[in-house]
Structures are given as C-alpha cells and as structure tokens.
Structure 1
Amino acid sequence: MRGRDMRRMAGLLASLTAAGTLLLGMAVSATAEPATPADYPTGSSSTRVTGLGFDTCTAPSLDALRAWRASSYRTVNIYFGGNNRGCTQPNLTSSWVRDANALGWKLLPTYFGRQPFCKFGESKPLRYTASNAASYGTSEAKDAVSKAKALGLLPGSALYADVEHYDRSDSGCRVAVRRYVSAWTKTLHASGYLAGVYVHQDSGLRDLSDSYNSTKYARPDAVWMARWDGKTSLTGWPTAPNSHWAVHQRAKQYRGDHDETWGGVRLNIDSDSLDAPVATVSRAYKVTSSTALNARTGPSSAYPAVRTHAPGSTLRVMCQGHGQKVGTSAVWDRLSNGTWVSDYYVSTPSSTGFSSALPRCAYPGQVTAGVALNARTGPGMSYSKSGPALPRGGLAYVMCQKRGETYRTTSVWNRLDDGRWVSDFYVANRSNSSWSAPIPRCP
C-alpha cells in the first residue's frame, strides 16, 4: 500500500471518537484492494432485483418466457460466454435480450470460463492454476465484457463468473480461485461492470469469505451461492457471515436440476432466490412532445443540450433519476447513450413519478469504512442517522451527489437509491475528494 494511504489510515485510527460520528473506520484508497472502484462510463447504470429466478442451460425461447409469466419467477439466467459453456444458445441474441427485457424478465448473466485445476469431476477440461489464474481471470473478463456489450448488456450490469465446486484441501487451488476472481473483478470494474461470482457453499463461498477483507485480492460485488436445501433465505448461510455481501449482493441456487411446467411449457431448471445486481438492458419508449425533445448532459435544463429527438421517435431508456421538475414530473430518463431527457415527454407508464418497469439510475461503490457506515437523513453528520448502517464491502447504490458538510478530504455526499445519504469519502468510486463521473448532481 502506498505511503499516503498508510498515513491516511493511521490518521483515521487516531481520530476515531465515541458516539455521534459515522462509525468511521479505516479508509481504503480509491484504487486499492479489496474495494476497487468501477469506472462507469456515461451510458451506464446498475440494475438489481429481489425475488425468484431460474437458470437453465439453453436460454428459453421468447414463447417459453411468455408462458412462464404465469410462474413466480421473474429473473432468468443466461450463459452468455466462456470456453467451458456446455450448451448451444440458438436464442441468445441482442434482439432476444431486448424482447425478454420488454416482457418483464430480468437477466442474470453467467460466464462459464476456465475452472480451478482441482475442480471435482472430469468434465470442463479447460482449467487454471495458481500461476496462470490471474492471467485467465483478466482475459476472460475482457471476453465477457465484449460478449456482454454485443448482447446489449450495458455497463453497470453485473456479470457472474461460474466457479464450480472444487477440492479446497489443496492450498494452491484456494490461491488460484482467489487470484482468478480478483483479476475478474478488477478487469470488469475497469470496463464499468459489476463483478459477481457463482460458487458452491463449501468451496468458493468459504474461500472468498475468508479473504473478504484481504488487501491482496479485489472483492467481488456479489455472490451467488449453490446450496440445494430448498430454502430461499439469503441470510444465515453457514460458510459466510451475514455482514459479507450484505447490501443487495446475494443470490442463492436453492434447488437443483428438476422439471417445472408453467403456461403449458415444461423446462428443466435450477431455482434461485435473489437480492442482487443483474443485467441492465434498455427499453424502448416514444417521444410524446409535439416539438423536438432535447437530450442533455444532465437531468435539468441547466445542462447543455447535445442532441434532439423528433416527435414520435424511439428512445432507448435504461434508467430513471431525480431532476428538474418539468410539467407534472421531476423524473428524468437516462438513455443508453448517456444523455438525459425529461420523462414528462416520454411514453413511460407514469408522467408524474418513477415507472416500475425501469430501474433507478444507480452507480454502486463498495463501502471502504473499516466498520459499519451510518447513513443519514441529509448530506452531513449533523443530520440524524437513518436505517441500518452499511457494512464494509456493502454496495452503496449512489443515485446522485451533492455538496454538504466537509468530512476528511471531501464535501461531497452521496444520495442512495433509498433516499439516505453517506459521505463519499467512504465509497469506492473515482474520487474521494471531488465529484465522480458519471454520477449526476442532486437537484
């Protein structure tokens, strides 16, 4: 760790006080492990989902997805890449992704790449060792980003590396998995994607949890655990404490290989419970204004207009955020090219507030405080505490930033997607002293 980071950490430890503070702990450099920041581009946003999902080897047809709207599942896994991917994917195209999203399905993207050399079983012959795990984690993450973009999975999406069950009695194998996942995480973050990992409860989850606070490895943003006990709970896991991946960062495969029939269509699936980031996919809406609609660099008419959209033209909307009130709505839509338009002039389901079909625009960063970080009712420590504190490594889902009370190196405060505020000093993003693009300013 660099000298200035060590001095910062020492200063923080020396200045810890009793009640009335943020429950402050050691800060981590904006670029250091374990909480490496995602370098979000302009056209990005995170999407998360809570509820049930399923995964099946081959992406189902759109007709099957229409039929399965009769089920309680609302998320479907897609094996979108990887040299160990076993099934052909005749349906998995960019148009399928858009149409599945338009039907109301959230997508859980899984990359089935090389496996640890000590993986149980003879299948999946392409593997990595401790010596080449970081190299493969990097190259496969780059390939995952390329394939995700080709399918229309926008930056801010979470991409999950499949790490199958392995023999963790081999210490070299444990090192290999940690190196692979760390390289996977840092490479995805550099391209503006969140990093997830699918793991078995008795191998990958245990080892990644054991290294959760290690400064040698980048921490993934979310975990998807396999434990076929029929229970959907996302807490009380036996091999990872509840404080690890605690803020909308968990999924569980709770039932394995079985057939289900919905709407007259039978599929062979695994069943999942989720409260985790998934793919961000844009949705098509129309311009409803009678004159050309300005697209701006931020959610207000104070921002420059960089292009216009003709009446009746189609927009690709990826998320919604707070902005200047126009007509009956203070909601602005962020388009997939990164520009903003007033939702009042767009054919989304609501002209007065947020639309449930679209996610809130959010740019998550991991909490770097050494202990739990208090959220507050406003942008300063003089505001009262609000709701549960965010544990170290939890994702702060930042919607916008605002000047507030100065703390340490910054006066920037982050408004979370639940309306609470945290100091930007303890959120891993591009800066802990100034604004972090492309997060907009709060109105």
Structure 2
Amino acid sequence: MSARLSVLSGGCATAAATVLIFAVSAAPANALPDSPVVYPSGSAATPTSGSGFDTCTAPSAGALSAWSGSSPYTIVNIYFGGNNRGCSQPNLTAAWVRQVTADGWKLLPTYFGYQPSCMVGSKPHRYTASDAGTRGTSDGNDAVTKAKTLGLLPGSALYADVEHYDRSDSSCRTAVRRYVSAWTTALHKVGYLAGVYAHQDSGIRDLADSYNSTGYARPDAVWMARWDGKATVTDWPTAPDGYWANTQRAKQYRGDHDETHGGVKLNIDSDIVKAPVATVARDYRVVGASSLNARSGPGTSYPITRTYASGATLPVICQGLGEKVGGTSVWNRLTTGAWVSDHYTSTPSDTGFSAGLPRCVYPGQVTAGTSLTARTGPGTSYPSSGSALPRGALAYVMCQQQGSTVQTTRVWNRLVDNRWVSDYYVANRSNSSWSAPVPRCP
C-alpha cells in the first residue's frame, strides 16, 4: 500500500416501560447492495474526522506519545493482517491498541490480503474472477478474527487494501467487484463495517461505477489514494460527491515523506479522514461508596444484568442518552452490551458526553431510491431538516422510537445529529420492527 508503493507517486418516560407492538427481528431486512450489518450487543461504530497518517510498521507507543499534541495528526493506520502484508508488526498487540487509544489516538485498520490478478506490482497472493468471492469471504473472516484478537470491537470499520491494477483487463475489474462484495458481506454478518483502500484510477473508479448495482454489496466507506497534496474528501475525479457521502471517506493525499514531531522522525503517508474507524473499549472505574448496577437498557427500569463493586473496572465502548440520573442523562455502554449511568463512573465529564468517547451509533446504509429526507421529529408531519441522505449514505442511528407509519413500519431512527429518518429506508435487521441492539429513545 501507499507508503511502500512507488507506482502511486505523482498520480496520484423510559422506553423499558413502553409496551412494544413489534417483535425484535433477528433476520436482516435488506439484501444487496445495501447489505445490513448485524451488530451484536457489545458494539458501536466510531465515525471520526481529522488528519491521519500511515506507516508500514505501527509506531511504538512512545513514538505516538511524542507525536500526540505536537503533530497535526489524531488518526494512525495499522496493518493488522493479510497474507500480502509486507512489514513486521512488533508493536501491534492488544495492549498497544488499548494504550494508544487511551492516549487519544484513533485507529484506521487496514487488511492487506489477496490482490487482483492484474495488480501493478509483485505481491504473490492474488485472485481471479473465478475465486474472488471465495477470497473476499476468507479474507473478511480472517480480518475479523485478527481484529478481535487486537481488541477492535464489532462496529469497527476494517479496510481491505486493494492496490492499483490494470483496468484494461475486464475480467480483473469483475474480480475486484466480487472480492469487495464478498469482503463486505462477510464483515457485515458479524457486526463490522466494511471499508476499502484503493487507487483513484482503478479501485475507486470501478467501485463507483458499480455503486448502484444490484449484483454487488456496496462497501460502507472508501479510502482513496491520490497524491495531489489536497486534503479533501470531496471533489474526487472518479467518485461523485453523492457516493459515500456521510462520513464515509478518507483520502491519502501525500506519499512517502519524513516528518519529525516531538523529536521523533517517522516515514509516513498523510491522510484526511472523515469516516468510521476502529472501536476500542476504554477502562473507567465505578465511583462512590456503593455498588453500581449494569442494566439491559439506559434506564433504571431496565433489568439488572450485573452489579459492579465500588472501584471496579468498567470496559466502556460508547455513550448514549437515557434516563436522567444524578444530573446527567448520559449512559455508558459496556463491552457486555449492558448500560451503566455515567453519573457513577470516572469518565472525564459527569454532566454530559466525555471527549474521546464516541456516541453509541449503529449505522446502516440508506436504501431509498434516490435520497432520504431527515426530519425534526419521528414522523412525516415534522419539517425536513438539513440535507437529505443520498442512497448508500450511512445513517448513524443512536436510538429508535415509534412514529408515523411509513410502508411496513412505525419505527423511526434518531440520528447522531438529532435528526430523524424512517427506519424503513435504512438497512438493518428489520424494516418492520425494532433492530437490536439499537436502544429505545428516552
């Protein structure tokens, strides 16, 4: 990829008390191309924006500590697996992941697996049109296994590295689409978002050409290699702005170069990121003299699933809204899927959301024919709000509530920006009922 590939150079009321009229459906409602993500309970996506960099070997925790605050970067790429991965990774362990994320770094996980048969370069492990689907599935399954080993939780976006290839080979173009489609569906089945790193003149062009195809699953995010020095996620020459339009893009805009920050020099590529990245738990403690009840939902009327003693460690993955307790409506979701009131935890803020912790969101792709209107409330009588979400955009859902009937459902989704969209047009577990593990809105 990138930093090691010279060919790119120069080119590039509490809800628990509410009687539910729907049963929770476990079966995905939508098929290709808007393949739904089946999120487990201990999961959440982590959309982010900022400057990032990638190196062949993950830097040491000490190097990242030196760069933290002294560099413009907040996001770092990691090559976490794949049979074509070329660099050793002595630093890349679960302990390293927990340490650097606790220090404030976001991780952009990249899997360097099988490559197209017409790839420009010498990587040995390749696929053709006949076995691309099998390779995409096996790489996707292996990526999930390796991600879990490092502590990259469900809801994380994992990016398949698809290096530059010869587009004059039509069979090879078909192979890339089949591989990416299989990669996407394999990740979605077990709760991970699917991203793709690709060159502007090959992979990005072909994935954009098949964006609305009914034969291929569409990836959730794309990371384009184009070394033009422009740190922008819009105005790409080979993918319209309406594609992957809602925090679904990253761009590698500068290739191999050295930078020194905090006295530490690294050879890097530079990226601009507005896309989902890895979700990693952070440890906090139970504060106060009493024990803390973890519950099945963000409110005291939900059943208790476990009790934590004062001072016990809480593995927090995200924060959401629920019943007000002790001056705050923020609740923390744990890796078990349970919820605890933020009032009784050692997170930085005890009155609102804490910086560094993501919101609990469960994105699904918009399935509307052209675009989906977002509204100020859960019903078609509410005014529209902001720009509509185009087909394939990620709707970052925080919670669900009943509203006006649209097609087969009364469920509406509250988005992370507090707008509302009908759940009928969002790819998730159901388009007629609630979709676990999304909580009910308070």
For normalisation by structure 1, the TM-score amounts to 0.93
Give the equivalent residue in structure 2 for 1:26.
none
CA contact (8 A) 1:138 1:187 kept: yes
SS at structure 1 position matched to 2:64: helix
* Percentage of identical aligned residues: 71
Give the equivalent residue in structure 1 for 2:406.
407
SS at structure 2 position matched to 1:258: strand
Give the equivalent residue in structure 2 for 1:218.
217
Give the equivalent residue in structure 1 for 2:105.
105
1:117 aligns with 2:126: no
Taking the TM superposition and a 5 Å limit, the aligned residue runs for 1:380-419 are 380-419=379-418
Give the equivalent residue in structure 2 for 1:260.
259
SS at structure 2 position matched to 1:349: coil
Give the equivalent residue in structure 1 for 2:429.
430
Query: Which amino acid in the other structure matches residue 98 of structure 1?
Result: R
SS at structure 1 position matched to 2:247: coil
* Cα distance in 1, alignment partners of residues 103 and 330 from structure 2: 23
Give the equivalent residue in structure 2 for 1:146.
145
- Cα-Cα RMSD: 0.6
Give the equivalent residue in structure 1 for 2:42.
43
1:79 aligns with 2:60: no
CA contact (8 A) 1:360 1:417 kept: yes
* Cα distance in 2, alignment partners of residues 387 and 290 from structure 1: 46
* Cα distance in 2, alignment partners of residues 116 and 166 from structure 1: 7
Cα distance per residue 1:360-411 (max 9 Å; x no partner): 0000000000111110000000001001110000000000000111111000
* Cα distance in 2, alignment partners of residues 357 and 133 from structure 1: 38
Aligned-residue offset at 1:209: 0.2
Query: Which amino acid in the other structure matches residue 84 of structure 2?
Result: N
Aligned-residue offset at 1:359: 0.2
* Cα distance in 1, alignment partners of residues 295 and 310 from structure 2: 16
SS at structure 2 position matched to 1:137: helix
* Cα distance in 1, alignment partners of residues 229 and 356 from structure 2: 29
Aligned-residue offset at 1:48: 1.2
Give the equivalent residue in structure 1 for 2:226.
227
Cα distance per residue 1:173-202 (max 9 Å; x no partner): 000000000000000000100000000000
Query: Which amino acid in the other structure matches residue 156 of structure 2?
Result: S
Give the equivalent residue in structure 1 for 2:25.
none
* Cα distance in 2, alignment partners of residues 357 and 279 from structure 1: 13
Give the equivalent residue in structure 2 for 1:322.
321
Give the equivalent residue in structure 1 for 2:208.
209
* Cα distance in 1, alignment partners of residues 383 and 354 from structure 2: 30
* Cα distance in 1, alignment partners of residues 57 and 113 from structure 2: 16
* Cα distance in 2, alignment partners of residues 59 and 308 from structure 1: 38
CA contact (8 A) 1:32 1:215 kept: no
Aligned-residue offset at 1:356: 1.2
* Cα distance in 1, alignment partners of residues 94 and 391 from structure 2: 36
SS at structure 2 position matched to 1:208: helix
* Cα distance in 1, alignment partners of residues 118 and 30 from structure 2: 31
Give the equivalent residue in structure 1 for 2:312.
313
Cα distance per residue 1:104-153 (max 9 Å; x no partner): 000000000010000012x2111000000000000010000000000000
SS at structure 2 position matched to 1:73: coil
Structure 1 residues not aligned, in runs of 5+: 1-28
Cα distance per residue 1:33-68 (max 9 Å; x no partner): 110000000000000110100000000000000001
1:276 aligns with 2:272: no
Taking the TM superposition and a 5 Å limit, the aligned residue runs for 1:280-319 are 280-319=279-318
Give the equivalent residue in structure 2 for 1:377.
376
CA contact (8 A) 1:286 1:313 kept: yes
* Cα distance in 1, alignment partners of residues 191 and 175 from structure 2: 24
* Cα distance in 2, alignment partners of residues 282 and 172 from structure 1: 42
Aligned-residue offset at 1:30: 2.5
* Cα distance in 1, alignment partners of residues 298 and 144 from structure 2: 28
Consecutive aligned runs of 4 or more in structure 1 exceeding 6 Å deviation: none
Aligned-residue offset at 1:32: 1.3
Aligned-residue offset at 1:289: 2.6
Taking the TM superposition and a 5 Å limit, the aligned residue runs for 1:18-29 are none
Cα distance per residue 1:203-236 (max 9 Å; x no partner): 0000000000000000000000000000011100
Structure 2 residues not aligned, in runs of 5+: 1-27
SS at structure 2 position matched to 1:322: strand
1:88 aligns with 2:95: no
Query: Which amino acid in the other structure matches residue 275 of structure 1?
Result: K
SS at structure 2 position matched to 1:370: coil
* Cα distance in 1, alignment partners of residues 231 and 335 from structure 2: 34
* Cα distance in 2, alignment partners of residues 375 and 302 from structure 1: 30
Query: Which amino acid in the other structure matches residue 93 of structure 2?
Result: T
SS at structure 2 position matched to 1:295: strand
SS at structure 2 position matched to 1:199: strand
Give the equivalent residue in structure 2 for 1:196.
195
